[in-house]
Amino acid sequence: MPAYATALVRAPGKFLLIKTSALEQAKVDSIALRHWFSRYSDCLLAQIFQTAACNATHTISQRTAKWLLAAVARTKGNEIEMTQEQLAHLLGVGRTFVTRVVQNLRKEGLVSTRRGVFIVEHEGALRLRSCPCTAQIEDHFDTVLHGIYPVD
């Protein structure tokens, strides 16, 4: 089956690898696994739709806050190794837009930066700056795949 996307891992951690043929066989052998994949597909599609709506309706500042919060949640720390250029690429905007947003976030004391690193100083205040899209996606995942992701 051809791949229509690529993934880039930006944070260290443990990863598992399984051959596609073994995964396909496991899905054939287990109806429960097929159901999990079906429900996950629903969630992934919902996330794609929500992201498209978010990109069309929310400000660069709101989306920047959302991405920084997502990175913090995934890495379990307040430091995110990412350049402003990389963040701009994730947001689909020019670096100059991100530079202005980050300057404002620094002035407000919500984040600090050093070369190639963002530090979230006030997660709660940054959450107030963020759009509600992440919470909506998390709610959908919890409804469709309840308990699949651990709660802190």
Question: Torsion angle of alpha carbons 114, 118, 119, 123, nearest 10°?
Answer: 150
Residues 45 and 74 reside in one and the same domain = no
Q: What average pLDDT does the structure give for the chain?
A: 90
Residues 104 and 90 in one domain: yes
How many domains are contained in the chain? Answer: 2
9 band by pLDDT with thresholds 50, 70 and 90? confident
- The enclosing H or E element of 111 equals strand 111-114
pLDDT tens, residue by residue, 66-94: 999 988 888 878 999 999 999 999 899 99
Whether 51 and 68 map to the same domain: the answer is no
CA-CA distance, 39 to 26, in Å (whole number)?
16
Judge if 63 and 119 occupy the same domain.
Answer: yes
Domain that holds residue 114: 59-130
User: Is residue 3 domain-resident?
Assistant: no
| 44 located within any domain | yes
- Residues 63 and 116 both lie in one domain: yes
Q: Identify residue 45 by its one-letter amino acid code.
A: L
63, part of any domain: yes
Residue 51 lies in a domain: yes
Going edge to edge, which strands form the sheet with 111-114? 79-81, 117-120, 111-114
Do the domain assignments include residue 114?
A: yes
Would 98 be classed as within a structural domain? yes
